[in-house]
Homo-oligomer: A and B are copies of this chain.
Amino acid sequence: MIKKNQAITIPGFKFSAVSAGIKKTGTKDLALIFSENITTTAGVFTTNKIKAAPVKLDIKRIVSQKGQAIIINSGNANACTGAQGLKDAKEISGITAKELCIIPELVYVSSTGVIGRPLPMQKIKKAIPELVEKLSPYSLTEVSTAIMTTDTFPKMAFKKINIAGKIGAIAGIAKGAGMICPNLATMLSFIVTDIAVEKKALDSALRNAVKNSFNRLIIDNDMSTNDTVLIMANGMLKNKPITKSSSLYPKFKNALTEITYNLAKMIAKDGEGATKLIEIIAKGAKTEGDAEKIAKSIASSMLVKTAIYGNDPNWGRIMAAIGYSGVEINEEKINIYIDKFKLVNKGMGIKKIPNNIFSKKEIVVTVELGLGKKEAKILTCDLTEGYIKINASYMT
């Protein structure tokens, strides 16, 4: 866990954030992550057929698996902005590269915010020199704040691991809130580490981590045009680079997954208007795919999410969501638990349900299917009037 006011540093990385005036509020909206040396880089991007301009640019650049900087703006998604959008993203990377004295191909660009408006390029161009000037090893927290849109708190996770006698570190930040569903959504996450990891191993560890964290996160089933997860490994730890066959690979992979899972949990907790973090566990399925389908079906149910919000033990809605998940089930074998309390036994409700089983801030819904041994876990949050209020007037 990260203590308050603890400045996280990762050897060789510098961070910076400024207010470029993209957001009307005047808060910081332009951020930079920079590595002193060229890093091994891996990335996972939105599967939405409509991709924002910076995502299109990054997808081309990630092929090299090399990178040295990431520039991120909030307040404008630079999506559905046509040829101009792509030109703008390239120009931002070009100016940033020039200021950093590196080549543009090593600069990744991320944007989040309103779709369909041209970037205020004059403001951004003007702010980049200051952004570079302010780079500091101690400013990761400022970056985590500058990338926020409707997020109510910055999201950061940090872990140290022993790599053959040396202590390496991984730090991750993320932004989320609305429009989150499996396969990412207006979800940005940037991870940096000083551990040396070989290209293929880094890519594979990142894909595994994303699969088990951000892709198991459901807020409102909408998937954005901008989702991006990037990791940069600069090898400053000077360990022997971790390969997929290395004995340290599982350790690194698990540490990375822990980072992304913790970030995903923070995103769920901060779902727009959310008051409760919900973990749905489907157990006893024939396949992991079946378990995932059932957990996702429950986590996507607006009726389940409003019931949990309202402290309403309406387990029938959970049963209905299991029933329409598309998975073959046996109604009479289903048990449902809220935390440790058994709500449904063999497909039927327990008569005396305590009043406040949904009253905690973090709720675990466990479904036992009794058909096999596979399981899956999905993170979500409750659905409240707050979500409606935030989203009914985001643009105007």
Residues of A at the B interface (CB closer than 8 Å) are 47-51, 77, 79-82, 114-117, 178-179, 183, 220-225, 300-303, 306-307, 309-317, 319-325, 327-329, 331-332, 344, 347-349, 383-385, 387-389, 391-396
Contact = CB atoms under 8 A, between A and B. Distances in A.
B395 A82 contact: no
A309 to B, nearest CB: 5
A310 B393 contact: yes
Given A82-B347, A306-B392, A310-B396, 10 more contacts: A49-B325, A49-B329, A81-B348, A115-B315, A115-B320, A116-B315, A222-B320, A307-B395, A310-B391, A312-B393
Identify the 10 closest CB pairs spanning chains A and B, nearest first. A115-B316, A310-B392, A50-B323, A306-B391, A48-B323, A116-B349, A223-B324, A385-B385, A314-B395, A220-B302
A302 B220 CA distance: 6
26 contacts: A48-B324, A50-B322, A50-B347, A77-B316, A80-B319, A80-B348, A82-B348, A114-B314, A116-B316, A116-B348, A220-B302, A220-B303, A221-B301, A222-B324, A223-B320, A225-B320, A307-B391, A310-B392, A310-B393, A310-B396, A311-B396, A313-B395, A314-B395, A384-B392, A385-B388, A388-B388
A265 B355 CA distance: 38
Nearest to A310: B392
A383 B394 contact: no
A49 B309 CA distance: 26
Contacts of A224: 320
Contacts of A183: 324
A307 B392 contact: yes
A327 B383 CA distance: 28
